[in-house]
Amino acid sequence: MRFQGKTALISGAGRNIGKAMALAFAREGADVILVARTASDVEQVAGECEALGVRALPLAADVSQHEAVNRVVQQGLQHFGKVDVLISVVGLRPHRPFWDFSYDEWQQIFNVNVHSTFFLAKALAPGMIERKRGSIVALGGMSSLTAMRTGISAVAASKHGLYGLIKAMAVDLGPHRVRANLIAVGNIDTERRNPEWYLPGEEMRPEHQHLALRRNGIPDEVANAALFLASDEASYITGDRITCSGGRFPGM
């Protein structure tokens, strides 16, 4: 087990890719701190992780608020003593023209897509630096690489910012043997609770002709990429990204 004796904090762990991350790290032996907005969701995932033989701490919080982040990190550290891996999954993806966003909506997208990772990393970095060990993995998207679609101004701007943050954190943390990387995901089959965010017909193309593998991905495949990046197998990879898109390239 690659993460036996280690603790991973996973935000957005209540469903979809975040849930897959939680279960993947639990299968590899990690104790997990699971954070999501909905307590019932994250408590259910925690139970599934514990059934795999690890300890799990479910916490309900809005990680776009730094006070909430500091609270859950403190609870996690009190419970487990350390956090070795941060997996930052949360994200908002509303699709509509930039002029249709209110100022508050635009700010909230950045709070979730960029600031949450900063808040979590800021709270956890001192312990990682002290131990000279740690890994941070953030979930981006194809919009962190390109803006070649209509209606994604807020998503593209925030996810580009997230990738920039990851690269800058890698430079700051590198001398302390702490790494930071990003996963740029493509079309992944997930439950979408806000279908009104997506332009008609933009979610998936049934024929998948724009994908080299001719299919959508599943959350477990993204989780496998995170396991690699967070593990010692990726010990010389930092400030970088894995594109987990089934062969969908920027501009496609």
Q: What is the mean pLDDT of residues 102-115?
A: 94
Taking the C-alpha atoms of residue 132 and residue 174, their distance in angstroms, rounded to an integer, is: 10
CB 66 within 8 A of CB 72: no
Q: Tens digits of per-residue pLDDT, 144-170?
A: 566 566 567 888 899 999 999 999 999
pLDDT in tens, 36-47: 999 999 999 999
Residue 2: inside a domain, yes or no? no
* pLDDT in the model for residue 201: 46
1 within a domain of the structure (yes/no): no
Q: Are strands 7-11 and 240-244 parallel, antiparallel or unpaired?
A: unpaired
**Can you give the length of the chain in residues?**
252
- pLDDT of residue 196 exceeding 50: no
Q: Has residue 107 been placed in a domain?
A: yes
160 Cβ contact partners less than 8 Å away, ≥ 6 residues apart: 143, 144
22 in any annotated domain: yes
- Name the residue range of residue 129's domain: 7-244
Q: How many domains are contained in the chain?
A: 1
CATH number for the domain harbouring residue 198: 3.40.50.720
Of the two residues 171 and 192, the one the predictor is more confident about is 171
- Say what the pLDDT of residue 214 is: 66
Closest CA to 140 of 167, 152, 121, 158: 158
**Inter-residue contact 27 to 51 (CB < 8 Å):** no
pLDDT recorded at residue 96: 83
- φ/ψ (deg, to 5) at 32: -130, 140
**If you average pLDDT over residues 77-91, what whole number do you get?**
96
How confident is the model at residue 211, as a pLDDT?
72
Mean pLDDT of all residues in 213-224: 83
Beta carbons of 6 and 85 less than 8 angstroms apart: yes
CB-based burial, 60-85: b 16+ in 10 Å, e otherwise: bbbbbebebbeebbeebbeebebbbb
When pLDDT is averaged across residues 113-120 and rounded to a whole number, the result is 97
pTM comes to 0.89
Residue 252 lies in a domain: no
In a domain, residue 228? The reply is yes
Asked whether residue 13 is assigned to any structural domain, the reply reads yes
Residue 43 lies in a domain: yes
